[in-house]
Amino acid sequence: MARVLITGSSDGLGLMAGQWLAEHGHEVVLHARNASRADETRRKLPAATAVLTGDFASLAEVHTLAEQANALGAFDAVIHNAAIEYREKKRSLTVDGFEHVFAINTLAPYLLTALMLKPKRLVYLSSELHRRGRTTLDDLNWERRAWNGTAAYSDTKLHDTLLAFAVARRWPGVLSNSVEPGWVATKMGGPNASGDLSQGPVTQAWLAVSDDPTAQVTGRHWFHQKERKPLAAANDAGLQDRLLEQCAAMTGVELAAS
């Protein structure tokens, strides 16, 4: 039995992954944005051991979330599922002055990874849209560009893939991978999504716990339990390091070396 933390698991693919893991006999710790949503989440999945809280739009709350997680000890796996969607109509800022999509989808998983005790496995939710992401890594906070919600989301999903591969390279004792769950009809994906919803949570859960040698790899990108080539730039170690450097400068926390 593995103990797995899933961020952003009050609904959608995060909750579905939690249900899959619980049904397969694993210990699941969920995460919600606030206490009210945590209460709802407990009702949705009573089998969950705990529901941690923390708003990814606040760096201080990510610190608090990491403290809650570390108080439980090191996890076997962490699935970084939490994200905000691509349909934001205008640029908005968090309490820390960072663009909202970038803060939640990029800075928060970076910071939580850096602050938590190292798990045995890490899984980062990417998207097929990561292939449209901007590889220059300039203007991450959207201060100079005209706002485009889809582009902002695509950028962050490339960041998540870069983060997964950077961690795989820096922490050889941790299995770190990224996953495309497909365009599925969750609240984020919308009702017109054409992907197989039943397969949406499976790959990330499988990577988190499986004893299958196929799943015990690192620095790979996945779709429906099969390896898929990511955007070629995602494998650029220099690009990975530049993202880590910028995230460290913005959060004040460096990702530890191996």
* 247 assigned to some structural domain: yes
* 175 assigned to some structural domain: yes
Concatenated DSSP letters of 189-244:
T-TT--S-GGGTTHHHHHHHH---GGGS--S-EEETTEE----GGGG-HHHHHHHH
* 258 assigned to some structural domain: no
38-50 mean pLDDT:
97
* 233 assigned to some structural domain: yes
137-142 mean pLDDT:
96
Q: Is the pLDDT of residue 154 over 90?
A: yes
The dihedrals phi and psi of 19, each to the nearest 5 degrees, come to -65, -45
Cβ 56 vs Cβ 98: under 8 Å: no
70-88 mean pLDDT:
93
* 31 assigned to some structural domain: yes
State the Cα–Cα distance between residues 173 and 254, nearest whole angstrom: 18
Cβ 137 vs Cβ 163: under 8 Å: no
Strands 27-32, 50-53: pairing is parallel
* 256 assigned to some structural domain: no
Interacting residues of 163 by C-beta distance below 8 A, sequence separation 6+: 106, 109, 110, 113, 124, 240, 243, 244
* 182 assigned to some structural domain: yes
**What confidence score (pLDDT) does residue 189 get?**
52
State the Cα–Cα distance between residues 176 and 161, nearest whole angstrom: 10
**What confidence score (pLDDT) does residue 194 get?**
45
Cβ 186 vs Cβ 12: under 8 Å: yes
Tell me the per-residue pLDDT of 81-139, one tens digit each, with 9 for 90 and over. Answer: 999 987 778 999 999 999 999 999 999 999 999 999 999 999 999 999 999 999 999 99
Tell me the per-residue pLDDT of 13-36, one tens digit each, with 9 for 90 and over. Answer: 999 999 999 999 999 999 999 999
Provide the 10 A C-beta neighbour count for residue 22. 19
Q: Is the pLDDT of residue 208 over 60?
A: yes
The token pair that represents 48 in the structure block? 């969950």
Q: What is the pTM of this model?
A: 0.95
How would residue 158 be classed by pLDDT, with cut points 50, 70 and 90? very high
**What confidence score (pLDDT) does residue 88 get?**
79
CA distances from 58 to 45, 108, 250 (A): 26, 8, 12
- Give the residue numbers spanning the domain of 28: 3-251
Task: Output the domain CATH number for residue 107.
Answer: 3.40.50.720
* 257 assigned to some structural domain: no
Closest CA to 17 of 250, 200, 232: 200
Cβ 165 vs Cβ 176: under 8 Å: yes
Active site residues: 153, 157
User: How many domains, the chain?
Assistant: 1
